Amino acid sequence: MSTFVLAAQAAQGGGMSGMLIMLVAIFAIMWFFMIRPQQKKQKKLREFQNALQEGTKVVIGGGIYGTVKRVDLNRNAVEVEIDRGVVVTVDKGYVFADAAQQQPNA
């Protein structure tokens, strides 16, 4: 019986090229369905953050809604008014979304 198993394994030969093709195919699928969409999303977020202007309603880290009062390009910071008279300064990287595009929960 062991002779039969050895003969079957020898007949399969050339499995390395098939395995290599399969690995490349799996990587390509992961690239197009996982990595590429995430890169597009990050690029869109960076473009939004770089286009911030005074008066833009935003959502900052922690889910806090506010309005941009000032953008400081030297410090890469944004002053956001979260309530009347309450202004917080956050890094531009913590401004995550345009609040005007957010749908309120019903």
pLDDT of residue 9: 57
pLDDT band at 106 (very low <50, low <70, confident <90, very high): very low
* 3-state secondary structure at position 63: coil
Residue-wise pLDDT for 57-73, tens only, equals 999 988 899 999 999 98
| Class in CATH terms, 54-101 | mainly beta
- Candidates 98, 60, 104, 54; CA nearest to 82 is 60
| Phi, then psi, of 82 in degrees rounded to 5 | -100, -15
- Residue-range domain boundaries for the chain: 1-46, 54-101
Residue-wise pLDDT for 13-60, tens only, equals 556 788 889 999 999 999 889 999 999 999 998 998 888 889 989 999
pLDDT of residue 86: 94
pLDDT of residue 91: 92
